[in-house]
């Protein structure tokens, strides 16, 4: 089968022929129709995750496709099912086939084609975990999302608005209109200092990191909650001193949450956006484009008739 491989940290990707994987008793074999690119993939290629993986490896985390075969212990899926999911540091999704664990895959939203479904898994997982498990936002609370018009920020905004939360959103000026379409109550450009506009918010979802951590602490009210997607764990000395709760985000796969998000998408309560598609053989160009583009939406690799439902 064809697969996009990383053979040396920091190098360009290679399109290679490798053996098709065979599922074990706890795995599902997927024929991939489309796979989306995440910041995680760029970090992996650059070599930032060398402690978690080794080369050579097949790239890709998020996918949508069709079940080809299931292991003996798989009971929630069958061959022919249209599915979506994510498998970080697994057998790779930038390929014609992959094998994944049961908890990494479920039936895709029926209302989405494979291209759009492939753009959903990691952003929906990260947004769900951030809002419901970590920040635990409540109706009428005020939430600041930094990086609001990105894939995770966009899903988080839609979920928060459905819960009756007031959302402040920070992003580049080029994404202002998209942020408003998502339902952001007050958009703040990244050229402005949000500290001059926002004070005493209940929660912050920081999808940028760096200096944004300290700046976010400055606008949280006592007892406020902060989550960053840039760290699995955050230092606790400063937030403890300030009387706030600071948490890192690790969005590991959960098929039950993916199924719940599929229901919300099919009910029209959450939209997923695609920026542009590239064929699998143009994976290098797609990775470069994702880094440079200022347009909203995910970049997706099409592998097998990605437009089909």
pLDDT at res. 219: 96
What does the domain layout of the chain look like in residue ranges? 2-120+272-302, 123-248
The mean per-residue pLDDT over the stretch 243-270 comes to 94
Mean pLDDT in residue range 288-292: 95
Mean pLDDT score of the chain, rounded to an integer? 94
Q: What are the structure tokens assigned to 265, written together?
A: 């998408």
Mean pLDDT for the stretch of residues 251-255: 91
Q: How confident is the model at residue 230 (pLDDT cuts 50, 70, 90)?
A: confident
For residue 309, pLDDT beyond 60: no
With contact defined as beta carbons under 8 Å apart, do 308 and 186 qualify? Answer: no
Q: For the residues 77-88, what does the mean pLDDT come to?
A: 97
Tens-digit pLDDT profile for residues 193-206: 999 999 999 999 99
Nearest to 246 by CA among 268, 265, 220, 267: 220
Segment 220-239 mean pLDDT: 89
Q: Residue 57 in contact with residue 91, Cβ under 8 Å? A: no
Tell me, what's the pLDDT at 308? 38
Eight-state DSSP code of residue 129 = I
**What pLDDT, on the 0 to 100 scale, is given for residue 169?**
97
CA–CA separation, 292 vs 263, rounded Å?
A: 33
Confirm whether pTM is higher than 0.85.
Answer: yes
The rounded distance, in Å, linking the Cα atoms of 217 and 225 is 9
Please state the CATH superfamily assignment of the domain spanning residues 2-120+272-302 in this structure: Medium-chain alcohol dehydrogenases, catalytic domain (3.90.180.10)
Predicted confidence at residue 305, as pLDDT, reads: 52
- Tell me: pLDDT of 22 over 50: yes
pLDDT tens digits, 130-157: 999 999 999 999 999 999 999 999 999 9
Q: According to the model, what pLDDT value does residue 152 have?
A: 96
pLDDT at 306: 40
Nearest by Cα to 265 from 130, 103, 76, 108: 108
Q: Do 95 and 2 touch, CB atoms closer than 8 A?
A: yes
pLDDT band at 233 (very low <50, low <70, confident <90, very high): confident
| CATH domain 123-248 topology | Rossmann fold (3.40.50)
Mean pLDDT for 58-72 is 97
pLDDT of 253 reads: 94
Same fold flag, 2-120+272-302 and 123-248: no
As given in the structure block, the two tokens for residue 257 are: 């949450």
Residue 25: which residues within 8 A CB-CB, separation 6 or more? 71, 72, 73
pLDDT at 307: 40
Three-class secondary structure of residue 289 per DSSP = helix
Mean pLDDT of the 64-91 span: 96
Mean pLDDT of 30-45: 96
Give me the count of residues in the chain.
309
Structure tokens of 119?
């753009």
């Amino acid at each position: 089968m064809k697969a996009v491989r990383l053979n040396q940290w920091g190098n360009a990707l290679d399109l290679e022929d490798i053996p098709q994987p065979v599922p074990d008793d706890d795995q599902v074999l997927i024929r991939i129709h489309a796979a989306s690119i995440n910041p995680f993939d760029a970090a992996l290629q650059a070599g930032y995750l060398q402690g978690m993986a080794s080369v050579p490896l097949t790239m890709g985390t998020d996918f949508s496709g069709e079940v080809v075969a299931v292991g003996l212990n798989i009971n929630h899926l069958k061959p022919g099912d249209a599915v979506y999911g994510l498998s970080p540091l697994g057998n790779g999704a930038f390929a014609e086939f992959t094998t994944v664990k049961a908890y990494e895959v479920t039936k895709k939203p029926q209302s989405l084609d494979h291209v759009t479904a492939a753009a959903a898994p990691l952003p929906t997982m990260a947004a769900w975990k951030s809002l419901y498990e970590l920040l635990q936002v409540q109706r009428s609370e005020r939430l600041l999302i930094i990086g609001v018009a990105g894939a995770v920020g966009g899903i988080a905004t839609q979920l928060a608005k459905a819960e009756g939360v007031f959302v402040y959103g920070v992003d580049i000026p080029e994404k202002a209109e998209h942020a408003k379409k998502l339902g952001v109550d007050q958009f703040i450009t990244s050229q402005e200092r949000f500290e001059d506009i926002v004070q005493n918010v209940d929660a912050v979802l920081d999808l940028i990191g760096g200096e944004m951590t300290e700046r976010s602490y400055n606008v949280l009210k006592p007892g406020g909650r902060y989550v960053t997607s840039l760290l699995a764990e955050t230092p606790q000395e400063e937030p403890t001193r300030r009387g706030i709760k600071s948490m890192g985000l690790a969005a590991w796969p959960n098929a039950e949450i993916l199924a719940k998000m599929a229901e919300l998408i099919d009910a029209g309560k959450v939209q997923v956006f695609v920026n542009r598609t590239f064929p699998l053989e143009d994976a290098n160009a797609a990775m470069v484009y994702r880094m440079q583009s200022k347009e909203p939406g995910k970049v997706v690799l099409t592998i097998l008739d990605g437009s089909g439902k």
